[in-house]
């Protein structure tokens, strides 16, 4: 029998529906624009939301992090903030595709305008998979949507941290995935806005390679004490994930 839920969602040119391997959830993506990557999936496994907590995902893109966290955690409600109208509209359709309108809201807006969207201390948890490259660093894609997702064109790391600190409750948790080469600046910026780093985990493509991602948890007005967790290794050999990566993705080996 044809899945009736798929019949209610219109797909646009270049779009496809992918299986997320969690709770039967699916997501709409457009390979010609920007699809979620491993960094978003790893962040959804690193972050946590407890019963009754409200979660905001800044720069939600396809909506992948709110959808996966709804499946993996006990959070009460999830909001995805996305500046690009086309991405926000596609994410909203993915929410409807999974029947999650009561649990997930997608908001199209600018991180620098959040004072008009939410009050100070409105959220228990904030997650973000922000642009990694400063505006002048690295090659830019000819596709502006991809460039905005990868480069600090519409917002900077400081914009995200500053507004996250305002929106978080005291002792609220901030989760981010980023690149290790920016760690010094990340820690300096977190400290400036009263977000104390509490957990850090480096992600290595292979055990004998340098890390290419870092997962960070910070606590609003927390006490100084950082736990560096064991490394997360992605591949045990070319083309074969480690058991932990399969578990995070929800795949059977």
- Domain boundaries of the chain, sorted by first residue: 4-249
pLDDT of 6: 46
Residue 1 confidence (pLDDT)? 35
pLDDT tens for each residue of 146-201:
444 454 445 799 999 999 999 999 999 999 999 999 999 999 999 999 999 999 99
11 CB contacts (<8 Å, ≥6 apart)? 17, 28
User: In this structure, what token pair is assigned to residue 4?
Assistant: 């009736």
The SS3 assignment for 249 reads helix
Low-confidence ranges of the chain (pLDDT < 50): 1-7, 138-139, 146-149, 151-153
The pLDDT, as a whole number, for residue 9 is: 83
Q: Across-strand partners of 134?
A: none
Predicted confidence at residue 222, as pLDDT, reads 98
In the chain, pLDDT over 70 holds for what percent of residues?
87
d(CA 241, CA 209): 15
Domain 4-249 is in which class?
A: alpha beta
* 210-225 confidence digits (pLDDT tens): 999 999 999 999 999 9
Three-point CA angle 163, 54, 116, nearest 5°: 40
Answer yes or no: are the C-beta atoms of 180 and 212 closer than 8 Å: yes
């Amino acid at each position: 029998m044809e899945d009736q839920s798929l019949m209610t969602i219109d797909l646009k040119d270049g779009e496809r529906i992918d299986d997320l391997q969690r709770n039967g959830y699916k997501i709409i993506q457009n390979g010609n624009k920007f699809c979620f990557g491993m960094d978003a999936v790893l962040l959804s496994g690193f972050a946590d939301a407890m019963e009754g907590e409200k979660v905001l995902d800044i720069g939600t893109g396809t909506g992948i992090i709110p959808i996966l966290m709804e499946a993996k955690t006990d959070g009460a409600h999830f909001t995805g903030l996305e500046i690009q109208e086309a991405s926000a509209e596609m994410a909203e359709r993915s929410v409807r595709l999974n029947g999650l309108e009561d649990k997930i809201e997608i908001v199209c807006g600018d991180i620098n305008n959040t004072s008009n969207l939410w009050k100070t201390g409105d959220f228990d948890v904030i997650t973000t998979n922000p642009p990694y490259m400063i505006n002048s660093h690295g090659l830019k894609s000819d596709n502006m949507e991809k460039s905005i997702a990868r480069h600090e064109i519409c917002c900077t790391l400081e914009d995200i941290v500053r507004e996250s600190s305002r929106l978080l409750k005291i002792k609220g948790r901030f989760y981010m995935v980023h690149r290790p080469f920016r760690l010094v600046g990340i820690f300096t910026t977190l400290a400036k806005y009263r977000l104390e780093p509490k957990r850090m985990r480096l992600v290595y493509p292979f055990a004998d390679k340098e890390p290419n991602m870092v997962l960070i948890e910070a606590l609003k007005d927390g006490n100084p004490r950082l736990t560096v967790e064991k490394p997360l290794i992605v591949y045990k050999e070319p083309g074969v994930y480690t058991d932990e990566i399969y578990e995070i993705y929800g795949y059977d080996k």
